[in-house]
Structure 1
Amino acid sequence: MAGQWWTDDDQLLEVLRDALTSASEMPPGFVEAGKAVYAWRTIDAELAALTYDSAWEGAEVGATRAAESASLRRLTFASETLSIELELTGDEILGQVSPPQAGTVQLAAGADDLGTIPVDDLGFFVVRPVPSRPFRIICRTDSGAAALTGWVSP
């Protein structure tokens, strides 16, 4: 009889085990959708375009002389309200927000949050160590401005 399954403890435990197992199995599409939604958390930040990369200069110079790999890479990202200047060394990222103002910068690699660093009143910040994988910087100032850089490959 279909209505008497709960009288058998073994059968009840089997049904409960199946329910818990199926609840812990997450469909891959559901996980990807969750990651995509998380990426929208920066929708309020204005995209800052890469306007300068010191690596561009190395490509032009390389044709005329032997170029050694530089120990310092400079990048500038600009949006309507902010510009973010970065200097990448092997050990750290030195950054400045213009116009100078306090706030925070958050580093993200894909959906992973790599940490939030304070920006001082002069717009300076330091990130240690340099992330080992491509990352973005989300800058939020105390005045309410927000900018998101493009991907930076260390």
Structure 2
Amino acid sequence: MLKGDPGWESDEVLLRELGAALAEERDVPEHLLEAARAAFTWRTVDAELLALTSYDSVLDEELAVRARATQTARQLVFDAEGVSVQVEVTEAGVAGQVLPAGPGRVALVTATGPVEEAELDELGLFLLGPPPSGPVRFRCDVGGTTVLTEWVCV
């Protein structure tokens, strides 16, 4: 129905036509559903995954024995594609640095979503509170790029 057609001014006619349009069964072709699913998997393509490639103090046997004895901090280093996230986890909280340094944000993320966020200072340093128990990861937004670390239990 076009604006000049008779009955355009009638809300009942307009609602009836709207109801009929919404009631029509529309089968979406399978190839379009597959394309939509494939597109959805790419929603985080900009978030590069930082692997725990460099260092985990828990995996260093000598340091791990000393850490259990003295309750020292756990140190983790995540590297990928020229970005490094270095964190130190203690009972008091998480201190870390994102390199190369620049303005940005870091978030401590659990399976249910972000728990805490902080701004990076000019040196890429950040402080967060104590992490919750269970697996966590860090999401860093730096220089227009988002990077995610692997999941770790801290």
TM-score calculated relative to the size of structure 2: 0.64
SS at match of 2:61: helix
Q: Partner residue of 2:58?
A: 55
Greater fraction helix: 1
Give 1:111 deviation, angstroms: 3.2
CA gap 1:42/1:111 in 2 versus in 1, 3 angstroms:
farther
**Structure with greater Cα Rg:** 2
CA gap 1:129/1:70 in 2 versus in 1, 3 angstroms:
closer
Q: CA RMSD in A?
A: 2.5
SS at match of 2:60: helix
Q: Which residue identity lines up with residue 47 of structure 2 in the other structure?
A: A
Q: For 1:4-44, what per-residue CA distance to the aligned partner results, in whole angstroms no more than 9, with x for missing partners?
A: xxxxxxxxxxxxxxxxxxxxxxxxxxxxxxxxx7x976442
Q: How does 1:5-154 map to 2 (within 5 A)?
A: 42-50=44-52, 51-58=54-61, 68=69, 70-141=71-142, 143-154=143-154
Name structure 1 gaps, 5 residues minimum.
Answer: 1-36
Q: Which residue identity lines up with residue 48 of structure 1 in the other structure?
A: L
Name structure 2 gaps, 5 residues minimum.
Answer: 1-39
CA gap 1:132/1:101 in 2 versus in 1, 3 angstroms:
same
TM-score calculated relative to the size of structure 1: 0.64
Greater fraction strand: 2
Instruction: Check conservation: 2:46, 2:145, Cα contact below 8 A.
Output: no
Q: Which residue identity lines up with residue 45 of structure 1 in the other structure?
A: A
Give 1:147 deviation, angstroms: 1.3
Across the two proteins, how many residue pairs are aligned to each other?
Answer: 113
